[in-house]
Copies of this chain bind each other. A is one copy, B any other.
Amino acid sequence: MKARVLIRPKDGILDPQGQAVERALPALGFGGAANVRVGRLVELDVEDGSRLDEMCERLLANPLIEDYEVQVIE
């Protein structure tokens, strides 16, 4: 199966990349953007989808400062 993991900084955790994007957008003429958060995207094929949460906890995300969401693509 093909899976996608969305990894985001937790609410309240500083997101310097998101802040940088949010400041850069108006400078490039894109007004009206807010609440920009930058995270990571991991896509992979796995044989056993039941272990994806465990993979996230142990390797893909840092559960102290990041939330993750697993999506099964196909």
Contact = CB atoms under 8 A, between A and B. Distances in A.
Nearest to A35: B45
Interface residues of A, number: 35
Contacts of A54: 30
23 contacts: A4-B6, A6-B41, A8-B41, A18-B42, A21-B42, A21-B44, A21-B60, A24-B59, A30-B51, A30-B54, A30-B59, A32-B46, A32-B47, A32-B48, A33-B44, A33-B46, A34-B44, A34-B45, A35-B44, A37-B44, A38-B41, A39-B41, A40-B41
A61 to B, nearest CB: 11
Contact of A28 (B22, B25, B32, B59): B59
